Structure 1
Amino acid sequence: MRRILATAITLALAGTGIPAFAQGEAPAAPAALPQAVTTQLPRTARPSHYRVEVTPHAEKMAFDGRISIDLDVLEQTSSIVLQAADLHFANSTLVAAGGKPMPARVSVDAGNQTASFSFDKPLSPGRYTLATDYSGVINTQANGLFALDYPTEAGSRRALFT
């Protein structure tokens, strides 16, 4: 009986938060949390087909290429956002089905690893083709397009992987 009473008193005191246990100042309020980083792209457009050309330049540890993406714009938007880690873009255009090419302005967000292709006029829902030239670096770590050098009897060789 004494043990049950002692346990009950201990639990009751622990639950009341007796000021004698709370010595010192209260902890400072946490700093403002950083803005949440989203890993999802906007749902305003959906790709349906990719045509990708890549030309590696292993000796320079760089590559360039061209991509053409068939996509459906699902709701009116003034930009299309793609994932783009460590890429540079040039000659970017968008063509509506049966229309004329529209130049795209590209802004890269390195922190979120995205590229936004913006246009002078909002895009109405429909089918489009986005085309752009791009370039980037060949990594030395297993990320994106990367290179590994290995020894052979004839000397060092370089292999490229994705």
Structure 2
Amino acid sequence: MQSARIWFRQSCPPITLATVETFLEELGAKVAKTEWTLGTFVIPQLHVMQPVPFLIQLNDDEYVVEEAEEFVELAGLPSEIRTKLSTLDARLEVGDVSENAFVLGEAINVFEGWTNFDPSHPKVLELLRKLAIEFDGIFEDNVNGIWWPS
């Protein structure tokens, strides 16, 4: 699912998917709530339908800090990215909408599968960079190996 990530520091009150949904809609994106399930495990998501279809989920589990620390140790990242990343404890995970989708109920869809989503699409990149700015975060493009700002 993770074609891109936006790393940020969780605030008080916390950033939620509802916060992200409102922000994206203010930017003109068409967004619906959805979820990914595996057995009894459910992950809430947002399905951005326009301008380009993709999914976003929030991850603020404890291991996010550990993964950020692993990236901080990478010598290839600019020092300003490493310094900021060391303070971040949550992220938005971004990926494509799989063709394997089915409806659970009215406006509730489940999407699963591998990602082919490219976050460098100009309309997507604009939204993701604005999200990174709004949440004072760092944008990581896992498809193209780009960190922003850098």
TM-score range normalised by the length of the shorter chain = under 0.3
Tell me which protein shows more helix as a share of its residues.
2
**TM-score normalised over the length of structure 1:** 0.22
Tell me which protein shows more strand as a share of its residues.
1
